[in-house]
Amino acid sequence: MASSGVFKKPIATKIIKFSNFYLAEDYHQNYSHKNPIRYKYYRWNSGRDQFLHKVWGSAITAAPDPPGDPPCKTPVTAGHFE
């Protein structure tokens, strides 16, 4: 991202050790596959895709349709962050 020339200042993200991890309820897992219409509604209204298009233009590819992607087979656990 830094070498793209899109940003005028260096990208600076502070990396800190996490303090707590909260597992999401089961209905949050693979949400985009279980609720594709609601997910598309959320995704469009979040402004994420519009922002990416504005910043990156044609350098980005469209997000895949959720039903076309295989659902995550390994749920995220607290162990992923240790």
- Amino acid 56: pLDDT: 83
- Amino acid 38: pLDDT: 92
Instruction: Give the amino acid at 22.
Output: Y
pLDDT, tens digit (0-9, with 9 covering 90-100), for 18-31: 888 888 898 888 88
- Amino acid 23: pLDDT: 86
In whole angstroms, give the CA distance from residue 79 to residue 4: 34
**CB 24 within 8 Å of CB 77:** no
pLDDT, tens digit (0-9, with 9 covering 90-100), for 36-72: 899 889 988 999 888 888 888 877 765 555 555 566 6
